[in-house]
Chains A and B, each alone.
Chain A
Amino acid sequence: MGARKMTKKDTVEQIRQKHQEWEQQVYNKAIKETPERKTKFKNLSEIDIQHLYTPEDISNLEYLDAIGFPGDYPFLRGVHPNLYRGRLWTMRQFAGFGSAEETNKRYQYLLDHGETGLSVAFDYPTLYGYDTDHPLARGEFGKCGVAISSLVDMELLFHEIPLEKITTSMTINGPAAIIWAMYIANAENQGIPKKQIGGTIQNDILKEYIAQKSYIFPPEPSMRLIVDTFEYGFTQVPKWNTISISGYHIREAGSTAIQELAFTLGDGLEYVKAAMQRGLDIDAFAPRLSFFFNAHNDFFEEIAKYRAARRIWAKEMKTLGAKKPRSLWMRFHTQTAGCSLTAQQPEINIVRVTLQALAAVLGGTQSLHTNSMDEALALPSEKAVRIALRTQQIIAEESGVTNTVDPLGGAYYVEWLTEKMEEETYKYFDRVAALGGVIPAIEKGFFQREIAESAYRYQKEIDEKQRVIVGVNRFQLDEEPSIPILKMDENGEERQIRRLQNLRKDRDNTKVQQHLQKLRKAAEGDDNLMPFILDCVHRYATLGETCQVLRDVFGEYKEQAIY
């Protein structure tokens, strides 16, 4: 045993002795001359950070068991053996605004500038499964994403984009199955087989209840729809990631890094259990599970978070019976923290984003979105998004950090922090289990309260200037510089509504009704709903119509407001 430890015991003892001497004779003297700026140094998860880490702090770790090799259990150092030496991460900018035509232009622009994957942002009506002309859609058309009400819009969105070559990630949850069906139908209509298309649907409803709040149906039917997509995915669309289990929104809602890590992995395990309960083989669906994390300001904490996530996931999946190495992989997308951007001196956000993106890369991300400097003001302008993309390209091509796998592996501080975050995650797992599991904990408002508490504390620290945000509570300017912001086509909404109305007139409405009826019947039973939904969207049933059928059968979720 001893021989497998990170540092031999006798050396640890020697280090400990020397360390004590150093503390007394060197360090204590030094801090008398230069007192420390704060009495406590804490990271964003409120963990106390010591002034120095040494082999003592990781002497309990056994390299082969706890750290190991990239591409090998427990995958702490990465899921791919050669990581970025083989293939860089996918540069995938989350984008969508106005009409499908406008967003298609933005995609073409991004691809022309070296983006390597697409990521669709939908507007609020789409996220809630409403067509653009629904009364509740008032004022929201195209505002924080693109409006997709039917297959016609989906066709325009991907006009002249080769679906067999490019992968597309779609941030859609409540109506994920329907939007995914539209993407599949669009590919099929172009003669591209389902087996060839690749991408991701977010499809993570648990974090919607917890944080992002674009839910439609109650938990039980929502989980059923998700497992339907898992099953349909691995049999019919095998290159598709049928879920992106997301911590991003949990973090944006104000959680700490540890809460993000714990709640996200907890959600992930809940999906796995739900699919296993259906009788699905874990090794059939697990390889298509993917994750999505935030990259916030505390550089090392973020890196430790990604590394810990890989190890915890591998361990837990093994415990649940996964055999294939791929089933143990925690593959993830990262987006830099929108909530860290400041409306003050917006250009300095470029620097924040650079640091956050670097943390994601050092943490071994599979794909990355870098925020644009103007996102605390509005949706990104063309120039702002180009700089954000260039930031990734500079990290990839110029910084040299891609030359070796997991360059921070073995760093005393990073390994200690990774271990610490894992420990704290398991404490949360226990607390959630004590509440009866993830869904009961949601219903009791546990996650929501934990997050609101952290968000409030963070804001208080900023307001009280205990936490410095450059440009906001220190180093402010008397006059804020103004930067140009995105202007949308004002006729987009009218055009979209006209298109919808024409569609409802021109399509074969008897067929549409027949298929919606079949979907209703299936939803009342327990068949996999994907083939029925696909039939509906192929006949140009709209998102709103298809979703309404499911609303009728499943009902709608209402949350209790907690603050």
Chain B
Amino acid sequence: MVKKIRVLVAKPGLDGHDRGAKIVARALRDAGMEVVYTGLHQTAAQIVNTAMQEDVDVVGLSLLSGAHMTLFVDVAELLQEKQMQDVLIIGGGIIPQEDVPRLKKAGISEVFGPGTPVEDIVTYIKKNVKR
């Protein structure tokens, strides 16, 4: 049996906009992945701990508050610190195009903005998952 891709969908920080995160979580599940959703108000440390405990292949971060430059980067740095470079990190939300190169440099592999068909996220994960 082929191992299912395990994904952690996470909501860092105080942002309460969870519509996108929930839709993505459900779509990934429907696409045959195993999905863990953190729920709201997670610190970077909590997200990385969950990622470790759940042994996920992918961390998907969702944020609409505008704090992505801090909070996405925090999660990416902490994952690196914990030697979890083989976890694919992706992000989504209200993220201006000009912030994307800096996020990618920090280790967020891809950023999905408003209007992205969920199928694109599924395809991206399947193609780029590192393990």
Contacts and interface: CB of A to CB of B under 8 A. Distances in A.
B15 interface: yes
A453 B61 CA distance: 21
A377 B94 contact: yes
A213 B117 contact: no
Nearest to A342: B115
Given A136-B14, A485-B96, A469 B26 contact: no
A132 B115 CA distance: 32
B71 A138 contact: yes
B23 A143 contact: no
B70 interface: yes
A254 B19 contact: yes
Nearest to A465: B117
A62 to B, nearest CB: 41
A61 interface: no
A342 B96 contact: no
B101 interface: no
A374 to B, nearest CB: 9
Contacts of A485: 96, 98
Q: Is the interface of A mostly helix, strand, loop or mixed?
A: loop
A84 interface: no
A143 B114 contact: no
Given A124-B14, A124-B65, A378 B94 contact: yes
Contacts of A462: 117
A561 B69 contact: no
A11 interface: no
Interface centre among A136, A143, A208 (most CB of B within 10 A): A143
Contacts of A139: 13, 67, 69-71, 74
Contacts of A130: 14
A560 B21 CA distance: 15
B34 to A, nearest CB: 14
Contacts of B25: 563
Interface in B35-69: 37-40, 43, 64-67, 69
A144 B69 CA distance: 14
Nearest to A375: B94
A225 interface: no
A561 B65 contact: no
Contacts of A455: 19, 22-23
B97 interface: yes
B65 to A, nearest CB: 5
A379 B66 CA distance: 9
A426 interface: no
Interface residues of B, number: 37
A213 B65 contact: no
Given A343-B113, A376-B94, A485-B96, A144 B23 contact: no
Nearest to B23: A459
Which of B66, B70, B74: most chain A CB closer than 10 A?
B66
Contacts of A459: 23, 27, 118
A563 B15 contact: no
A441 interface: no
A375 to B, nearest CB: 8
Nearest to A253: B19
Interface in B84-131: 94, 96-98, 113-115, 117-119
B16 interface: yes
A494 to B, nearest CB: 14
A355 B117 CA distance: 25
A208 B14 CA distance: 13
Contact of B14 (A128, A339, A559): A128
Interface string A251-268: 011100000000000000
B77 interface: no
Interface in A133-150: 136-140, 143-144
A284 interface: no
A462 B18 CA distance: 19
A459 B22 CA distance: 11
Given A139-B13, A378-B66, A559-B39, A344 B115 contact: yes
A563 B13 contact: no
Contacts of A128: 14
B18 A343 contact: no
A561 B19 contact: no
Contacts of A471: 115
Contacts of A214: 14, 16
24 contacts: A124-B65, A136-B43, A139-B67, A139-B74, A140-B15, A140-B66, A140-B70, A212-B16, A213-B17, A214-B16, A254-B19, A341-B114, A343-B113, A376-B94, A377-B97, A378-B94, A379-B66, A452-B22, A456-B26, A456-B27, A472-B115, A559-B40, A560-B39, A563-B26
Given A138-B67, A342-B115, 8 more contacts: A124-B13, A127-B14, A139-B71, A143-B66, A456-B22, A559-B40, A562-B22, A563-B9
10 A-B pairs with the lowest CB-CB distances in the bound complex, closest first: A139-B70, A213-B16, A561-B39, A143-B66, A139-B67, A124-B14, A563-B22, A343-B114, A472-B115, A463-B117
